[in-house]
Amino acid sequence: VDPKTGQTIPNQTPELSQVFTGWKRAFTERDHMFRRGGVLHDNAAAGNSTILLYKLPNDTRWDNLQVGDKIAIFDTASPFEGSHDEAYVGTINDMAGTPTPPEPHQVALSLVTARGGSTPYTLARAYTASPPAATYYPDFGNASGKSAGVGVVNSNDGLITDTSPYQINGTGSAFYDADMRGIQQPFDDGFVEFIALTDGMGAVPYLPQAWFDTAGTPPYDTPHNYFHLIGCTSYSQFTGTSNPAFDWSYILQQTIEQGAGTLLEKQNVTRAVTDHELAHQFDLNFCTDLPNCGIPPPATWKQHDYRGWWNYGGTGCPPWANPCLMDPAGGNPTDAVNRFCKEDLILGDPNSASPCADEQGYTYGQRDTNVRTCRDPR
């Protein structure tokens, strides 16, 4: 209806060109892990001046706290980014010789108002711990828990001074972070854009290497439309790990920093691992004809391949001078070049007949997937 005349405008169907989607957009929630801290073993009530932390199942210290550290106490109801308590560590008692059957000992922290002081700090809020699972590690999936933990915001030794979420693994940083600052290089080639909003970005409690080696990582199965990217500590086997069924990726930043190389090389590795793990979220294919080169069957390399990146390719058998980002080693991770092969990026594996729309019941080697056309989060 014409708003001026009130007359009905005749239907007109202009000729339209076909609709093309120029860019694919993926959203990422980023979390970072405190470099020092621990996880509450028991609930802490408002007014408490002592809190109890988990120890490992072998009764050794899980936390890496020191007397005099300034710590934040937080859980999912009172997150670090919101209202929470902060205090100094007065004393640390690992409760040696005082077991509380059937559980191993815990670590008791006394809270004080000043570094080196003795005036008790009383909690203004209550914090809910996640209860032990069968393995004695905390069950973060238990509905009664709220993942209560502590994190060092200013360390007694002066090594931690900065809690800015924009300070990524630099001097004084309180967190282990993934690094998406080079994300455009590999994904722009396939017209794929990653958006990582600061809203929802949060800190999580410190977890030691034993958690990743033994207890594993908790699934994240709540329906959502974003990938979940977490910078964290160490894993004995990898510098990164992902579960595309649950849309989470862990970047083992402490493992990267403990490796050989210059500071710049380690920064490059962090970015390469971040790009590599986010690519796993698209259930990427791998080259099914590589056994012809004497390379082991697909079950041993899962969603990796040994191709060269798209601008180089190559004939014959690998290794290539310029490997794809999805090489098991992440290409050449210490340099600043992170590129996909054309099959991972756009084409899919030409030797696989399985459609990328097959989302259920697949096994490795049965998919023809690539970043551009396949799978966003549920």
Rounded to two decimals, the pTM is 0.88
Q: What is the pLDDT of residue 150?
A: 98
Express each pLDDT in 141-179 by its tens digit.
Answer: 888 999 999 999 999 999 999 999 989 999 999 999 999
Could you tell me the two tokens for 38?
């621990």
Strands (E), the chain: 24-34, 37-39, 50-53, 70-74, 85-93, 107-112, 149-154, 175-176, 192-195, 202-204, 227-232, 240-243, 248-252
Q: Higher pLDDT residue, 91 or 291?
A: 91
Which residue did the predictor score with more confidence, 286 or 239?
239
- Grade residue 308 by pLDDT with cuts at 50, 70 and 90: confident
In this structure, are residues 54 and 130 in contact, taking their beta carbons and an 8 Å threshold?
no
Task: Give Cβ neighbours of residue 192 (< 8 Å, ≥ 6 apart).
Answer: 23, 24, 25, 26, 371, 372
Instruction: Write down the H helix ranges in the chain.
Output: 184-187, 209-210, 253-258, 263-280, 342
Phi–psi pair at 299, nearest 5 degrees: -60, -20
Given a contact cutoff of 8 angstroms between Cβ atoms, the answer to whether 177 and 327 are in contact is no
Residues 333-358 have pLDDT tens digits of 999 999 998 888 988 777 665 544 43
Higher pLDDT, residue 283 or 13: 283
pLDDT at 355: 46
Per-chain mean pLDDT for the chain: 86
